[in-house]
Copies of this chain bind each other. A is one copy, B any other.
Amino acid sequence: MTKMSDPTGRGAKRAGIRDVARLAGVAPMTVSRALSFPHLVSAETREKVAAAIAATGYIPNRVASSLSSNQTMTIGAVIPTLRNSIAADFAEGFNQVLRARGYHLLLGNSEFVPEDEEAIVVEFLSRRVDGIYLTGSTHTERTRKLLRDNAVPTVEIASLPEDPIDLAVGFSNFGAAYAVTKMFAEQGYRKVALFTTFTKDNERQVERQAGYHAAVHEFGLDDDPEGLVAELEMDLKAAARQLRLLLERRPDVEALFCTGDFIAAGALFEAQRLGLTVPQDLAIAGFEGLEIAENLNPSLTTVRIPRYEIGRKAGEMLLDRIARRPVETPVVDLGFEIIRRESTAATAGQPKVRAEAGERPAGTGG
Protein backbone atom coordinates (compact mmCIF):
# COMPACT_ATOMS: atom_id res chain seq x y z
CA MET A 1 0.00 0.00 0.00
CA THR A 2 2.84 2.42 -0.65
CA LYS A 3 2.10 5.62 -2.43
CA MET A 4 4.84 5.51 -5.02
CA SER A 5 3.66 4.62 -8.48
CA ASP A 6 5.75 2.00 -10.20
CA PRO A 7 4.82 0.69 -13.61
CA THR A 8 4.54 -2.95 -12.61
CA GLY A 9 1.88 -2.16 -10.08
CA ARG A 10 3.77 -4.10 -7.47
CA GLY A 11 3.20 -2.67 -4.06
CA ALA A 12 1.42 0.33 -5.53
CA LYS A 13 -2.19 0.91 -6.21
CA ARG A 14 -3.37 -1.32 -8.95
CA ALA A 15 -3.37 0.26 -12.40
CA GLY A 16 -6.78 1.36 -13.67
CA ILE A 17 -8.14 2.12 -17.06
CA ARG A 18 -7.25 5.78 -16.55
CA ASP A 19 -3.62 4.95 -16.00
CA VAL A 20 -3.52 2.96 -19.17
CA ALA A 21 -5.30 5.70 -21.07
CA ARG A 22 -2.91 8.36 -19.84
CA LEU A 23 0.11 6.29 -20.76
CA ALA A 24 -1.28 5.52 -24.19
CA GLY A 25 -2.31 9.10 -24.76
CA VAL A 26 -5.97 8.29 -25.38
CA ALA A 27 -9.26 8.51 -23.51
CA PRO A 28 -10.31 5.75 -21.10
CA MET A 29 -13.18 4.94 -23.38
CA THR A 30 -10.76 4.11 -26.13
CA VAL A 31 -8.95 1.68 -23.92
CA SER A 32 -12.23 0.04 -23.07
CA ARG A 33 -13.06 -0.25 -26.73
CA ALA A 34 -9.64 -1.56 -27.67
CA LEU A 35 -10.31 -4.36 -25.24
CA SER A 36 -13.94 -5.13 -25.96
CA PHE A 37 -14.31 -4.17 -29.62
CA PRO A 38 -10.82 -4.06 -31.12
CA HIS A 39 -12.23 -3.71 -34.62
CA LEU A 40 -13.65 -0.32 -33.74
CA VAL A 41 -10.20 1.02 -32.97
CA SER A 42 -7.37 1.87 -35.38
CA ALA A 43 -4.48 -0.54 -35.49
CA GLU A 44 -2.14 2.18 -34.36
CA THR A 45 -4.19 3.05 -31.31
CA ARG A 46 -4.63 -0.61 -30.52
CA GLU A 47 -0.89 -1.03 -30.33
CA LYS A 48 -0.37 1.96 -28.13
CA VAL A 49 -3.02 0.65 -25.80
CA ALA A 50 -1.55 -2.82 -25.80
CA ALA A 51 1.84 -1.39 -24.94
CA ALA A 52 0.40 0.67 -22.11
CA ILE A 53 -1.43 -2.35 -20.75
CA ALA A 54 1.74 -4.42 -20.78
CA ALA A 55 3.68 -1.62 -19.14
CA THR A 56 1.18 -1.08 -16.35
CA GLY A 57 0.23 -4.70 -15.77
CA TYR A 58 -3.35 -3.57 -16.05
CA ILE A 59 -6.00 -6.17 -15.31
CA PRO A 60 -9.50 -4.95 -16.16
CA ASN A 61 -11.88 -4.84 -13.24
CA ARG A 62 -14.78 -7.01 -14.21
CA VAL A 63 -16.82 -6.14 -11.21
CA ALA A 64 -16.94 -2.53 -12.31
CA SER A 65 -17.64 -3.76 -15.78
CA SER A 66 -20.46 -5.93 -14.52
CA LEU A 67 -22.04 -3.12 -12.58
CA SER A 68 -21.97 -0.89 -15.56
CA SER A 69 -22.98 -3.34 -18.24
CA ASN A 70 -25.38 -5.32 -16.13
CA GLN A 71 -23.73 -8.56 -17.21
CA THR A 72 -21.66 -10.72 -14.90
CA MET A 73 -20.71 -13.45 -17.33
CA THR A 74 -21.40 -15.81 -14.48
CA ILE A 75 -23.77 -18.74 -14.15
CA GLY A 76 -24.81 -19.95 -10.74
CA ALA A 77 -24.80 -23.74 -10.53
CA VAL A 78 -26.46 -25.70 -7.76
CA ILE A 79 -25.03 -29.21 -7.53
CA PRO A 80 -26.10 -31.49 -4.68
CA THR A 81 -22.60 -32.85 -4.18
CA LEU A 82 -19.43 -33.29 -6.15
CA ARG A 83 -18.56 -36.70 -4.81
CA ASN A 84 -19.45 -39.98 -6.47
CA SER A 85 -22.01 -38.23 -8.48
CA ILE A 86 -23.02 -38.06 -12.08
CA ALA A 87 -24.18 -34.58 -11.19
CA ALA A 88 -20.52 -33.63 -11.45
CA ASP A 89 -20.43 -35.05 -14.98
CA PHE A 90 -23.45 -33.04 -16.04
CA ALA A 91 -21.77 -29.95 -14.66
CA GLU A 92 -18.52 -30.69 -16.44
CA GLY A 93 -20.23 -30.85 -19.83
CA PHE A 94 -22.15 -27.71 -19.02
CA ASN A 95 -19.03 -25.89 -17.97
CA GLN A 96 -17.21 -26.80 -21.17
CA VAL A 97 -19.79 -25.03 -23.28
CA LEU A 98 -20.03 -21.97 -21.10
CA ARG A 99 -16.34 -21.48 -20.58
CA ALA A 100 -15.89 -21.38 -24.33
CA ARG A 101 -18.18 -18.37 -24.35
CA GLY A 102 -16.49 -16.58 -21.51
CA TYR A 103 -18.86 -17.57 -18.75
CA HIS A 104 -17.75 -18.91 -15.43
CA LEU A 105 -19.53 -21.10 -12.92
CA LEU A 106 -20.33 -20.04 -9.42
CA LEU A 107 -20.77 -23.16 -7.34
CA GLY A 108 -23.32 -24.03 -4.68
CA ASN A 109 -23.73 -27.35 -2.88
CA SER A 110 -27.26 -28.08 -1.77
CA GLU A 111 -26.68 -31.56 -0.33
CA PHE A 112 -30.16 -32.41 -1.62
CA VAL A 113 -31.83 -29.94 0.74
CA PRO A 114 -34.29 -27.69 -1.12
CA GLU A 115 -34.15 -25.02 1.57
CA ASP A 116 -30.40 -24.81 1.19
CA GLU A 117 -30.85 -24.61 -2.53
CA GLU A 118 -33.21 -21.70 -2.03
CA ALA A 119 -30.65 -19.82 0.03
CA ILE A 120 -28.05 -20.46 -2.64
CA VAL A 121 -30.37 -19.18 -5.34
CA VAL A 122 -30.98 -15.99 -3.38
CA GLU A 123 -27.26 -15.53 -3.10
CA PHE A 124 -26.88 -16.08 -6.83
CA LEU A 125 -29.55 -13.50 -7.58
CA SER A 126 -27.80 -11.11 -5.29
CA ARG A 127 -24.65 -11.62 -7.29
CA ARG A 128 -26.65 -10.95 -10.42
CA VAL A 129 -25.69 -14.10 -12.26
CA ASP A 130 -26.70 -14.18 -15.91
CA GLY A 131 -28.24 -17.63 -15.60
CA ILE A 132 -28.89 -20.46 -13.21
CA TYR A 133 -28.28 -24.18 -13.42
CA LEU A 134 -30.19 -26.47 -11.09
CA THR A 135 -29.73 -30.20 -10.61
CA GLY A 136 -33.06 -31.98 -10.63
CA SER A 137 -36.50 -30.48 -10.44
CA THR A 138 -37.26 -30.59 -6.73
CA HIS A 139 -37.30 -26.99 -5.55
CA THR A 140 -39.12 -24.89 -3.01
CA GLU A 141 -42.01 -22.76 -4.17
CA ARG A 142 -40.09 -19.63 -3.32
CA THR A 143 -37.17 -20.79 -5.46
CA ARG A 144 -39.53 -21.09 -8.40
CA LYS A 145 -41.19 -17.76 -7.76
CA LEU A 146 -37.89 -15.96 -7.28
CA LEU A 147 -36.51 -17.28 -10.51
CA ARG A 148 -39.62 -16.55 -12.50
CA ASP A 149 -40.23 -13.12 -11.03
CA ASN A 150 -36.69 -12.10 -11.68
CA ALA A 151 -36.82 -13.60 -15.15
CA VAL A 152 -33.43 -15.23 -14.77
CA PRO A 153 -32.65 -17.79 -17.47
CA THR A 154 -32.69 -21.13 -15.73
CA VAL A 155 -32.05 -24.71 -16.73
CA GLU A 156 -32.96 -27.80 -14.76
CA ILE A 157 -30.85 -30.87 -15.32
CA ALA A 158 -31.46 -34.63 -15.26
CA SER A 159 -35.25 -34.71 -15.07
CA LEU A 160 -38.08 -33.93 -17.43
CA PRO A 161 -40.22 -31.68 -15.23
CA GLU A 162 -43.86 -31.28 -16.13
CA ASP A 163 -43.76 -27.75 -14.87
CA PRO A 164 -40.27 -26.48 -15.69
CA ILE A 165 -39.14 -23.19 -14.22
CA ASP A 166 -37.76 -22.26 -17.61
CA LEU A 167 -35.56 -24.72 -19.51
CA ALA A 168 -34.78 -28.37 -18.78
CA VAL A 169 -32.59 -31.12 -20.22
CA GLY A 170 -32.66 -34.70 -19.07
CA PHE A 171 -34.11 -38.11 -19.65
CA SER A 172 -37.01 -40.12 -18.39
CA ASN A 173 -36.05 -41.62 -15.08
CA PHE A 174 -39.41 -43.33 -15.03
CA GLY A 175 -38.90 -44.75 -18.50
CA ALA A 176 -35.42 -46.03 -17.80
CA ALA A 177 -36.43 -47.83 -14.63
CA TYR A 178 -39.48 -49.20 -16.38
CA ALA A 179 -37.35 -50.48 -19.24
CA VAL A 180 -34.88 -52.26 -17.00
CA THR A 181 -37.64 -53.91 -15.03
CA LYS A 182 -39.33 -54.90 -18.24
CA MET A 183 -36.10 -56.42 -19.46
CA PHE A 184 -35.97 -58.57 -16.35
CA ALA A 185 -39.58 -59.58 -16.86
CA GLU A 186 -38.94 -60.59 -20.43
CA GLN A 187 -36.01 -62.69 -19.38
CA GLY A 188 -38.36 -64.62 -17.15
CA TYR A 189 -37.50 -63.15 -13.77
CA ARG A 190 -40.48 -62.83 -11.44
CA LYS A 191 -38.84 -61.75 -8.22
CA VAL A 192 -37.07 -58.54 -8.97
CA ALA A 193 -35.77 -56.38 -6.14
CA LEU A 194 -35.02 -52.65 -6.24
CA PHE A 195 -32.34 -50.61 -4.48
CA THR A 196 -32.59 -46.85 -4.84
CA THR A 197 -31.00 -44.01 -2.95
CA PHE A 198 -33.22 -41.98 -0.67
CA THR A 199 -36.27 -40.58 -2.36
CA LYS A 200 -36.69 -37.65 -0.02
CA ASP A 201 -36.36 -34.47 -2.05
CA ASN A 202 -35.00 -36.38 -5.00
CA GLU A 203 -37.58 -36.72 -7.73
CA ARG A 204 -35.24 -38.78 -9.91
CA GLN A 205 -35.29 -41.60 -7.41
CA VAL A 206 -39.02 -41.23 -6.93
CA GLU A 207 -39.58 -41.60 -10.63
CA ARG A 208 -37.30 -44.57 -10.88
CA GLN A 209 -39.26 -46.29 -8.17
CA ALA A 210 -42.45 -45.43 -10.00
CA GLY A 211 -41.09 -46.87 -13.23
CA TYR A 212 -40.14 -50.06 -11.47
CA HIS A 213 -43.56 -50.39 -9.87
CA ALA A 214 -45.34 -49.72 -13.13
CA ALA A 215 -43.48 -52.56 -14.80
CA VAL A 216 -43.94 -54.84 -11.81
CA HIS A 217 -47.67 -54.40 -12.15
CA GLU A 218 -47.83 -54.49 -15.89
CA PHE A 219 -45.87 -57.71 -16.17
CA GLY A 220 -47.30 -59.35 -13.12
CA LEU A 221 -44.03 -59.58 -11.23
CA ASP A 222 -43.86 -60.34 -7.57
CA ASP A 223 -45.23 -57.20 -5.96
CA ASP A 224 -43.72 -56.85 -2.51
CA PRO A 225 -42.75 -53.24 -1.79
CA GLU A 226 -41.82 -54.05 1.80
CA GLY A 227 -39.75 -57.08 1.00
CA LEU A 228 -38.16 -56.33 -2.34
CA VAL A 229 -37.54 -52.58 -2.21
CA ALA A 230 -34.95 -50.72 -0.15
CA GLU A 231 -33.63 -47.17 0.02
CA LEU A 232 -30.02 -46.56 0.97
CA GLU A 233 -27.09 -44.18 0.70
CA MET A 234 -25.06 -44.10 -2.50
CA ASP A 235 -22.45 -46.24 -0.88
CA LEU A 236 -20.97 -49.66 -1.59
CA LYS A 237 -20.96 -50.71 2.01
CA ALA A 238 -24.59 -49.78 2.47
CA ALA A 239 -25.41 -51.80 -0.62
CA ALA A 240 -23.62 -54.82 0.82
CA ARG A 241 -25.57 -54.51 4.03
CA GLN A 242 -28.88 -54.09 2.27
CA LEU A 243 -28.18 -57.12 0.15
CA ARG A 244 -27.74 -59.25 3.24
CA LEU A 245 -31.00 -57.92 4.65
CA LEU A 246 -32.73 -58.54 1.36
CA LEU A 247 -31.54 -62.12 1.23
CA GLU A 248 -32.84 -62.64 4.74
CA ARG A 249 -36.24 -61.21 3.90
CA ARG A 250 -36.51 -62.76 0.50
CA PRO A 251 -34.02 -65.61 0.00
CA ASP A 252 -35.91 -66.42 -3.18
CA VAL A 253 -35.06 -63.11 -4.91
CA GLU A 254 -33.90 -63.66 -8.48
CA ALA A 255 -32.81 -60.28 -9.72
CA LEU A 256 -31.74 -56.93 -8.33
CA PHE A 257 -32.03 -53.54 -9.98
CA CYS A 258 -29.90 -50.80 -8.44
CA THR A 259 -30.42 -47.19 -9.49
CA GLY A 260 -26.71 -46.46 -9.28
CA ASP A 261 -23.67 -48.36 -10.53
CA PHE A 262 -21.79 -48.05 -7.27
CA ILE A 263 -24.72 -49.55 -5.41
CA ALA A 264 -24.80 -52.34 -7.94
CA ALA A 265 -21.08 -52.88 -7.55
CA GLY A 266 -21.39 -53.04 -3.78
CA ALA A 267 -24.19 -55.57 -4.08
CA LEU A 268 -22.26 -57.60 -6.61
CA PHE A 269 -19.16 -57.77 -4.41
CA GLU A 270 -21.22 -58.81 -1.42
CA ALA A 271 -23.09 -61.43 -3.42
CA GLN A 272 -19.78 -62.91 -4.44
CA ARG A 273 -18.53 -62.90 -0.88
CA LEU A 274 -21.68 -64.78 0.06
CA GLY A 275 -20.85 -67.40 -2.49
CA LEU A 276 -23.54 -66.46 -4.98
CA THR A 277 -22.87 -66.62 -8.68
CA VAL A 278 -24.02 -63.64 -10.73
CA PRO A 279 -26.17 -63.85 -12.79
CA GLN A 280 -27.09 -67.50 -12.19
CA ASP A 281 -27.99 -67.11 -8.53
CA LEU A 282 -28.82 -63.45 -8.71
CA ALA A 283 -28.95 -61.15 -11.70
CA ILE A 284 -27.89 -57.53 -11.10
CA ALA A 285 -28.40 -54.36 -13.10
CA GLY A 286 -27.05 -50.90 -12.37
CA PHE A 287 -27.77 -47.35 -13.51
CA GLU A 288 -25.67 -44.44 -14.82
CA GLY A 289 -23.35 -46.23 -17.20
CA LEU A 290 -20.17 -45.52 -15.26
CA GLU A 291 -16.85 -46.78 -16.52
CA ILE A 292 -16.57 -49.33 -13.76
CA ALA A 293 -19.71 -51.14 -14.91
CA GLU A 294 -18.11 -52.61 -17.98
CA ASN A 295 -14.97 -53.63 -16.11
CA LEU A 296 -16.53 -55.65 -13.33
CA ASN A 297 -16.55 -59.45 -13.33
CA PRO A 298 -19.15 -60.19 -14.46
CA SER A 299 -19.58 -56.99 -16.43
CA LEU A 300 -22.57 -55.02 -15.26
CA THR A 301 -25.75 -54.38 -17.17
CA THR A 302 -26.61 -50.74 -16.73
CA VAL A 303 -28.47 -47.75 -18.12
CA ARG A 304 -26.23 -45.40 -19.98
CA ILE A 305 -27.11 -41.77 -19.53
CA PRO A 306 -25.72 -39.24 -22.02
CA ARG A 307 -24.12 -37.34 -19.17
CA TYR A 308 -21.86 -34.91 -20.97
CA GLU A 309 -24.36 -34.40 -23.76
CA ILE A 310 -26.99 -33.40 -21.24
CA GLY A 311 -24.61 -30.87 -19.70
CA ARG A 312 -23.58 -29.50 -23.06
CA LYS A 313 -27.10 -29.24 -24.38
CA ALA A 314 -28.12 -27.44 -21.23
CA GLY A 315 -25.28 -25.00 -21.75
CA GLU A 316 -26.30 -24.30 -25.32
CA MET A 317 -29.92 -23.77 -24.44
CA LEU A 318 -29.07 -21.45 -21.59
CA LEU A 319 -26.80 -19.43 -23.86
CA ASP A 320 -29.63 -19.10 -26.35
CA ARG A 321 -31.93 -17.88 -23.65
CA ILE A 322 -29.40 -15.39 -22.35
CA ALA A 323 -28.89 -14.06 -25.87
CA ARG A 324 -32.67 -13.86 -26.25
CA ARG A 325 -32.51 -16.21 -29.17
CA PRO A 326 -35.69 -18.23 -29.58
CA VAL A 327 -35.60 -21.62 -27.88
CA GLU A 328 -37.39 -24.28 -29.88
CA THR A 329 -38.21 -26.75 -27.10
CA PRO A 330 -37.85 -25.73 -23.48
CA VAL A 331 -37.73 -29.32 -22.22
CA VAL A 332 -35.34 -31.64 -24.02
CA ASP A 333 -35.26 -35.41 -23.61
CA LEU A 334 -31.88 -36.86 -24.45
CA GLY A 335 -32.92 -40.44 -23.78
CA PHE A 336 -31.02 -43.33 -22.28
CA GLU A 337 -29.76 -46.69 -23.39
CA ILE A 338 -29.81 -50.05 -21.70
CA ILE A 339 -26.44 -51.76 -21.96
CA ARG A 340 -26.91 -55.47 -21.50
CA ARG A 341 -23.92 -57.25 -20.11
CA GLU A 342 -23.00 -60.41 -18.27
CA SER A 343 -24.59 -59.59 -14.93
CA THR A 344 -28.05 -60.19 -16.37
CA ALA A 345 -27.11 -62.45 -19.21
CA ALA A 346 -29.12 -65.44 -18.19
CA THR A 347 -31.95 -66.79 -16.14
CA ALA A 348 -30.91 -69.79 -14.12
CA GLY A 349 -29.65 -72.54 -16.38
CA GLN A 350 -29.38 -70.43 -19.52
CA PRO A 351 -26.10 -69.78 -21.28
CA LYS A 352 -24.21 -66.54 -20.79
CA VAL A 353 -24.32 -63.91 -23.45
CA ARG A 354 -22.04 -60.96 -23.96
CA ALA A 355 -23.99 -58.23 -25.62
CA GLU A 356 -23.69 -54.48 -25.99
CA ALA A 357 -27.06 -54.19 -27.63
CA GLY A 358 -29.35 -51.47 -26.53
CA GLU A 359 -32.82 -50.13 -26.82
CA ARG A 360 -33.64 -46.49 -26.78
CA PRO A 361 -37.11 -45.68 -25.61
CA ALA A 362 -37.67 -42.02 -24.97
CA GLY A 363 -40.95 -40.51 -23.90
CA THR A 364 -41.64 -38.91 -20.60
CA GLY A 365 -43.68 -41.54 -18.95
CA GLY A 366 -43.61 -39.50 -15.73
B-binding residues in A (CB < 8 A): 8-10, 14, 57, 59-64, 66-67, 72, 74, 77, 81-84, 88-89, 91-92, 95-96, 99, 104-109, 122-123, 125-128, 149-150, 235-237, 240, 262, 265-266, 269-270, 272-273, 291-292, 294-297
Contacts and interface: CB of A to CB of B under 8 A. Distances in A.
Contacts of A9: 149-150
Nearest to A9: B149
A292 B265 contact: yes
Contacts of A82: 82, 88-89, 91-92
Contacts of A77: 107
A109 B95 contact: yes
27 contacts: A14-B150, A59-B122, A59-B125, A59-B126, A60-B126, A62-B128, A63-B63, A63-B66, A63-B67, A74-B106, A77-B107, A83-B88, A83-B89, A84-B291, A92-B109, A104-B106, A104-B108, A104-B127, A105-B107, A106-B106, A235-B291, A240-B295, A262-B292, A269-B295, A269-B297, A270-B295, A273-B297
A236 B292 CA distance: 7
Contacts of A8: 149
Nearest to A127: B62
Nearest to A71: B63
A10 B91 CA distance: 30
Contacts of A109: 92, 95-96, 99
A286 to B, nearest CB: 14
